[in-house]
């Protein structure tokens, strides 16, 4: 979805509310999601030139409802629904629902008939506002594969025919998938997979808002608390991640005085309370890693052996290749670049040609003094990332190494 300045953020904020309103009123989640996507595309095309309507949410709901009606009218096999479809067109001044259905929609996307690998991408698209390409990047699969996965998930939900109101007691079983959705939305907001900006504060902010809501509903759940702590401890570093022109500033060069101490304090308090429950999970361990970084006075003064020990534990919990990649970095910081480089071969088989693998190898080769190989790896990483700020940083690193000492 493309739009003029500011329009994209507005549409992303309104999308789950529009979907919730259309689905709540008419049922048929998959059809409602398709109709809302078409309405969003229509808005992205029309609003930059015509201006944003006085009531943009009502505009989206009305257009989506009309598109649903048109679809049913065109479908000969559903001719019997014409009378119902005709009643679906919303009048221009119909009241817009004041409540936010985002969390309910997320729980519905995580239907038990869907495996997590399908439920989570569907929720990321329907609720998080991520594109299929962005979701594919998060799951390390081709975009076409992800598109098919989302399409199949919507077809299963259509067959399930679940009403908008969730049956009592269904939320708990779906929470792990919901937490993963929030985690991925936050990650895309904190480090955008593509585009002209390093980050997307609207997405990370929305993930934090929703995580606060889930935590308020289940404050005794250690993993929910751990996820919120992780988000806050990571978000605290945002002000120092970019320079005056929006350029990437790596962790080693950040001005730690710019970190948000209020968020750090809140995150540490939440994490401490979660760990006291004695039920450590992957989000709590990740939050603990973030806490070690946030409490270090400098990059060189970071307790890298402690971070490595936490990554060892996280790797055993998850088997995630990105965790293995970060573990290699921690190993290099604790035991030298050659020790980190020795771990990358095992990671390469799982990450393939991912730009972050090339980037990590480039940094470790630079630390090891192999300048020529580091330049080549920085170039390979730059050629594979779709985030322009990250690409600029990687190219600049290669150019500085090629130029030699000042």
231, 250 contact by CB (below 8 A):
no
Q: Is 193 helix (H, G, I), strand (E, B) or coil?
A: coil
Mean pLDDT by 10 residues, the chain (406 residues): 57 84 78 88 87 90 85 58 50 51 78 80 81 84 90 82 59 82 90 87 87 89 97 97 95 97 98 95 98 96 97 96 96 97 90 94 97 97 95 96 86
**CB contact burial 66-95 (16+ within 10 A = b; e otherwise):** bbbbeebeeeeeeeeeeeebeebebeeeee
Query: What is the model's pLDDT at position 168?
Result: 57
Task: Please report the pLDDT score of residue 93 as a whole number.
Answer: 46
Buried b (16+ CB within 10 A) or exposed e, 298-329: eeeebebebbbbbbeebbeeeeebbbbbbbbb
pLDDT at position 231, please? 98
pLDDT in the model for residue 277: 94
Alpha-helical runs (H) found in 75-170: 82-86, 102-109, 116-126, 132-139, 143-160
- Give the count of beta carbons closer than 10 Å to the beta carbon of residue 377: 24
Among 313, 315, 225, 237, CA closest to 272: 225
pLDDT of 273? 96
Whole-prediction pTM value? 0.77
Measuring CA to CA, which residue among 392, 383, 334 is closest to residue 358? 383
Number of helices and strands in the chain (H, E): 19, 2
SS3 242: strand
């Amino acid at each position: 979805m493309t739009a003029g300045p500011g329009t994209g953020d507005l549409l992303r904020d309104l999308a789950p509310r529009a979907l919730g309103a259309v689905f709540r009123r008419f049922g048929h989640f998959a059809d409602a999601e398709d109709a809302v996507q078409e309405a969003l595309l229509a808005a992205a095309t029309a609003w930059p030139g015509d201006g944003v309507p006085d009531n943009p949410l009502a505009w989206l709901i009305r257009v989506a409802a009309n598109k649903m009606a048109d679809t049913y009218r065109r479908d000969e096999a559903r001719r019997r629904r014409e009378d119902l479809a005709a009643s679906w067109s919303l009048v221009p001044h119909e009241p817009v629902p004041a409540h936010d259905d985002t969390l309910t929609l997320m729980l519905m996307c995580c239907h038990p008939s869907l495996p997590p690998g399908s439920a989570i991408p569907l929720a990321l698209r329907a609720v998080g506002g991520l594109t299929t390409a962005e979701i594919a990047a998060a799951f390390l699969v081709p975009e076409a594969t992800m598109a098919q996965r989302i399409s199949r998930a919507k077809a299963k939900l259509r067959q399930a025919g679940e009403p908008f109101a969730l049956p009592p007691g269904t939320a708990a079983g779906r929470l792990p998938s919901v937490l993963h959705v929030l985690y991925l939305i936050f990650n895309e907001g904190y480090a955008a997979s593509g585009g002209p900006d390093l980050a997307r504060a609207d997405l990370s902010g929305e993930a934090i808002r929703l995580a606060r809501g889930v935590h308020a509903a289940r404050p005794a759940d250690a993993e929910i608390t751990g996820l919120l702590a992780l988000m806050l401890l990571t978000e605290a570093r945002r002000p120092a991640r970019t320079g005056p022109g929006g350029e990437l500033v790596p962790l080693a060069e950040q001005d730690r005085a710019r970190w948000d101490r209020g968020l750090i304090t809140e995150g540490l308090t939440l994490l401490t309370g979660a760990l006291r429950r004695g039920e450590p999970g992957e989000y709590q361990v990740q939050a603990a890693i973030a806490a070690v970084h946030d409490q270090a006075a400098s990059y060189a003064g970071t307790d890298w052996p402690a971070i490595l020990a936490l990554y060892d534990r996280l790797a055993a919990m998850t088997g995630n290749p990105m965790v293995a990649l970060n573990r290699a970095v921690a190993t290099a910081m604790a035991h030298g670049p050659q020790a980190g480089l020795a771990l990358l071969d095992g990671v390469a088989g799982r990450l393939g040609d991912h730009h972050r693998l090339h980037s990590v190898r480039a940094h470790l080769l630079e630390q090891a003094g192999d300048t020529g190989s580091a330049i080549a790896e920085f170039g390979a990483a730059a050629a594979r990332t779709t985030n322009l700020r990250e690409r600029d940083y990687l190219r600049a690193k290669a150019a500085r190494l090629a130029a030699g000492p000042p």
